[in-house]
Structure 1
Amino acid sequence: MRTRALLSLVSLDGQPPSELRLFRAGQNKTTKGTYVFSERSATAVMAAFKEHGVELPFDYGHAMAVGANLSDDGKAAGWFTLEVRGGELWAVSIRWTDKAAKEIAAREWRYVSPWFEYDPESREITTIINVALTNIPATHEAQPLMAASLLEFLENSMREKIVSLLGLSAEATDEEIAAAVEAITKKLASAEEELSKAAKAAEETKANILAAGTTLIETTDWGSKVEELSRQLTARDAAVEALSKEVETLKAEKLSVERKGLIEEGIRSFKIAPAQRAYFEKKTLEDIREYLSVAPVLVPPSVTPSGEPLVSLTDEDKAMAEKLGLTPDQMAKGKEVLARKAFTASP
């Protein structure tokens, strides 16, 4: 099993560098724990990089990790390749975009933060995904953004879509949602039973037509009777077709609800990022279940590996709170609200 983590490790000095060190050899101590870049790490990281066969991207503020719109904030800030030097991992041959180069030179960005996978047992780094420009290093003052934003995302996005699909109000409870799903299941079973009855009736009608064929031919009004029976058969066939469409619609609705439920479960358990929702909505239930059974847990920025939030105030924050007549708790809650809004601004 591999786990993903985000860290802020390297400071930019105001000039766009052409290369920079991502991890030193051996232990790399951070406030999110100690990660190890070993010989095994070097082999695994370079093998994954060579197998992928393309340059890796820089982004802005981990937009690619947290699910920004790739046509906006998810754009690349630059591109680089990897190289191991003396047991250390370096980003080399860096090609910054014009925008990123200007912002780095203007000190609008101060740090870089690699997004990587590691073995949770040995803490050895195994894969580099990308590197972000950031102004929030991995310190004890970092806000607990990801856990809160995921819950808010589930409440305000996935839940709304599910209750809308079920025809419920936005205030529907979990019990009401479960009852609606059960009702759809029962309705589907009933529709399938009606379809079976209609199909059987259609077969009986056809048999009646064949059995009455000889008699109809011998009578003076055989043509009108055949026409009437044909109309009955057409009506039966239309009913069967209508029921078939209704059954297919109900099946599709049930699959959609189950699919969205699995996606919601994956996001809640940190195995699916919000940005992957549209991708998984196109997958089958079997594909999603298989993915969730083996997928690693995504460790978001500013959350400890144990999931505990880290919130505190700087001296400047405390001084400002005193001027505004706020308690430290009020000031901290205000900072947390602003941080969450900034995180959830990305679709």
Structure 2
Amino acid sequence: MPAVRNVLVVGGGAAGAAAAILLAEGGVSVDLVDAKPDVSALGSGITLQGNALRVLRELGVWDQVKAEGYEFDTLGLRAPDPAGTLIAELTDIRTGGPDLPATLGMYRPTLAKILIDRAGAAGAKVRFGTRPTALTQDGDVTFDDGSTGRYDLVIGADGLRSWTRRAVGIDGEPQPVGMGIWRTFTRRPESVTRTDLFYGGPAYIAGYCPTGADSIYAYLVEDVQDRSGLSPDEKLATMRQLAGAYHGPWDEIRDSLTDPATVNYTAFESHVLDGPWHRGRVVVIGDAAHSCPPTLAQGAAQALEDASVLAELLLREDAVTGELWSEFTGRRLPRAREVVEASLQLTRWLLAHERGDVPGLMGRIAHLVASPA
């Protein structure tokens, strides 16, 4: 029988929903709570590499994800010149295996809804607009509606600002990286059939990723600034102005940017919890345990891998032991640390205007994550 009978998952993002699906399917009673009022997720698009798709297939949602997203197998590098000249076309490694595409882009809220609906169908009890207000390492929880519960395990999948991580005294807050990113979600030009990256110009990176038959996610990375005082119209105007230096498909993308509600700005942050990610009957996964700038598009993939490995161990063993936690830490910490460090290396090269071996670094990480976690 599983090592746990009842589990609380705090946070309904990729890591939390994935853990809820796998454990509920394995016969564990799962409660999933999220402070947000509904499943909608902040953001525009998401880039999912093959190792993320491998876990999504394990979760039983690959067919839905494939139908909603846009898959591709190459990466383009373009120059920040008046023509947006294509410099190189790189064939990506299919890190999820030969029967999955190298990369798939999709609308982030759509992925969130697919995963939450799957968790409910698997038997997890999902409550939005609910958050814990007290937690002990023994698994005793009090919620903001006054209800209480005692769980064999509490999984904190509640993101960068993880309440769970702080509640059980795990040190390791995300730190600024020095970059910020403008993101938008808009109409896909017919010429955009994969991710292209422009390095140089007024932004460190100008890129886009197709997210469906008619949509793309586009982004511009700059030195981090306090953009909080800008109105929605000012944010739109600022992104359009920065995008003016980029051409090729960017000309059509820029012309389509007319709705301020589609634009958001986020500062890059990063951290890795160096050591066990659990305290007693509480464990943190996903962005609560590690985060990196999206320069390698591995954030969601690493979160999904956390959930997959944790569920595998909990369903395989008949008790939560030190050996179980040692295996979990051994399988997840070195891999997550290497991905985070590689993502940070890319940001350091960019901030220093240094020509690093970007294709070589990307290839090394692709080979790493091609092996199942």
* TM-score tier after normalising by the smaller chain length: under 0.3
Q: Which has the higher helix share?
A: 1
Q: If you compute each CA radius of gyration, which structure gives the higher value, 1 or 2?
A: 1
Q: Which has the higher strand share?
A: 2
Give the structure-2-normalised TM-score.
0.24
